[in-house]
Amino acid sequence: MKRMPTQGLPATDVLTALESLRANDVDWRNGRAFSLAYHAGPEAIALAEEAYRRFSGENALSTDAFPSLKTMQADVVSMTRDWLGATADSAGFMTSGGTESILMIVKAARDQFRHSRNITKPNVVLPTSAHAAFEKACAYFDVEPRRSPVGTNWRAHADGMRELIDENTILLVASAPQYPQGVIDDVPSIANLALEHGINCHVDACMGGVTLAYLARLGEPIPPWNLAVDGVTSMSVDLHKFGYTSKGASVVMYANKMLRSFQGFVTDNWLGGFYASSGALGTKSGGSIASAWSVMHHLGDDGYLDLTRRARRATVALADHIDQHDDLALRVRPDATLLSFGARDSSSLNIFAVADQLRTRGWYVDRQQPPDSLHCTVNAIHHDKINLFVADLDEAVALTKSNQRQGSVGQYGNLE
């Protein structure tokens, strides 16, 4: 058990210890991680970290004290509007990440329909591919999750969700793209189903909210996916993913201010006076806000277009290699910059043992099931790393087949 030092240590000693602690961490700055970390280049990272440092001590709980954070939050939300197909009526908030965004969406829908329809036992209908954070939100806010199977193409469609809707349904969920296989759900059909029942439709674009907007401009055939689709009432996009900002930056965008109003919390029922917050957090560092504002201004429209082009080319190159591999099977052609693959014959190749072999070579990929698969979130840093990765992937597959090693699924997230 670690105990507090009796005497404080010099800062240099503490920093040395920090570097020692991360000796076995994945080297994401050199493009070795296909999950969890995103890299737009050394200049963007340096700016993100410096902006975060300068505002790390400022507290976004009170923008009266820190009006700079109020301005930056408003600017960041505004700059995402074009990506998400927002209109002049749309309104949003920054949150600390995709999970908080999803928590707030479910909470807002619960409160909205408790107020307008007196629904006291609400449920949310969502595909099996929708993010685990929706389960977390339902558990937190006493909402029943109802999962609908996806099609053979891994996409959610209204036909599979319709029969789960009843008078207590408050929200339908679609993803653009969904995380496990990297494909875009049939947003128009799901949004239209929500319109039929007079309920909300959220599109989780935490992974694709930046990328899909630029892929369309690059000529990729992107189906309708955002607030421009009639019936979509809200969206979420993570800026610390393909926005390449520091961790702790996401945006929830609602179709109008009425819908947004149910996200916030207000009370004066204590001795401290009026208290209000837009999300789950109270105290919130200004670092992630300043980082997002700075990186978005630095990269600009042309920068994001180029980063998206690089990430997509790398994704296609990796998908093509797996498609042509004798022992690997692509789950589906990726719509954006996420892909999933497994073994053509799981009796002769344990795909999780392949992941173990990749880890010994310095690569980190996600493991998921069902079905047993490896998952790659490809971003701009990988544009010149794919050849190196696929060479190590081929070696890992060959070695795993020859020795018939077994691997474990591991876990996504933890409770430690």
Q: List, as own/partner pairs, every contact residues 74-83 make where C-beta atoms lie below 8 angstroms and the sequence separation is at least 24, other chains included.
A: 75/293, 76/239, 76/249, 76/251, 76/289, 76/292, 76/293, 76/296, 77/251, 77/253, 79/296, 80/209, 80/237, 80/239, 80/251, 80/253, 81/253, 82/213, 83/209, 83/210, 83/213, 83/226, 83/237
Give the domain ranges of the chain: 48-296, 300-402
- pLDDT band at residue 412 under the 50/70/90 scheme: low
Strand-pair partners of 251? 94, 237
- pLDDT band at residue 404 under the 50/70/90 scheme: confident
pLDDT at 252 exceeding the cut of 70? yes
Return the pLDDT at 406: 84
pLDDT at 36 exceeding the cut of 70? yes
For range 74-97, the mean pLDDT? 97
Return the pLDDT at 386: 97
Give the side-chain half-sphere CA count within 13 A for 79: 23
- pLDDT band at residue 414 under the 50/70/90 scheme: low
pLDDT digits (tens, 9 = 90+) for 363-403: 999 999 999 999 999 999 999 999 999 999 999 999 999 98
Q: Which of 235, 223, 243, 112 is nearest to 170 (CA)?
A: 112
Return the pLDDT at 135: 98
Pairing of β 250-254 and β 234-238? antiparallel
For range 225-246, the mean pLDDT? 98
For range 173-194, the mean pLDDT? 98
Return the pLDDT at 407: 79
Which CATH superfamily does the domain covering 300-402 fall into?
Answer: Aspartate Aminotransferase, domain 1 (3.90.1150.10)
For range 277-292, the mean pLDDT? 94
CATH code for the part of the protein at 48-296: 3.40.640.10
Residue 227 near residue 242, CB atoms below 8 Å = no
Return the pLDDT at 272: 93
pLDDT at 254 exceeding the cut of 80? yes
Q: Which of 85, 95, 102 is nearest to 136 (CA)?
A: 102
Question: What value does the mean pLDDT of the chain take?
Answer: 95
pLDDT at 416 exceeding the cut of 80? no
pLDDT digits (tens, 9 = 90+) for 188-203: 999 999 999 999 999 9
Contacts for 69 with CB less than 8 Å, ≥ 6 apart:
55, 58, 60, 63, 286, 289, 290
pLDDT at 415 exceeding the cut of 60? no
Q: What percent of the chain has pLDDT over 90?
A: 94
Residue 176 near residue 212, CB atoms below 8 Å = yes
- pTM beyond 0.85: the answer is yes
For range 166-180, the mean pLDDT? 98
Residue 172 near residue 125, CB atoms below 8 Å = yes
Contacts for 360 with CB less than 8 Å, ≥ 6 apart:
none
Q: Which of 58, 77, 78 is nearest to 68 (CA)?
A: 58
Return the pLDDT at 286: 96
Return the pLDDT at 413: 61
Q: What is the 3-state secondary structure (H, E, C) of the chain?
A: CCCCCCCCCCHHHHHHHHHHHHHHCCCHHHCCECCCCCCCCHHHHHHHHHHHHHHCCCECCCCCCCHHHHHHHHHHHHHCHHHHCCCCCCEEEEECCHHHHHHHHHHHHHHHHHHHHCCCCCEEEEECCCCCHHHHHHHHHCCEEEEECCCCCCCCCHHHHHHHCCCCEEEEEEECCCCCCCCCCCHHHHHHHHHHHCCEEEEECCCCCCHHHHHHHCCCCCCCCCCCCCCCCEEEEECCCCCCCCCCCEEEEECCHHHHHCCCEEECCCCCCCEEECCCCCCCECHHHHHHHHHHHHHHHHHHHHHHHHHHHHHHHHHHHHHCCCCEEECCCCCCCEEEEEECCCCCCCHHHHHHHHHHCCCECEEECCCCEEEEECCHHHHHCHHHHHHHHHHHHHHHHHHCCCCCCCCCCCCC
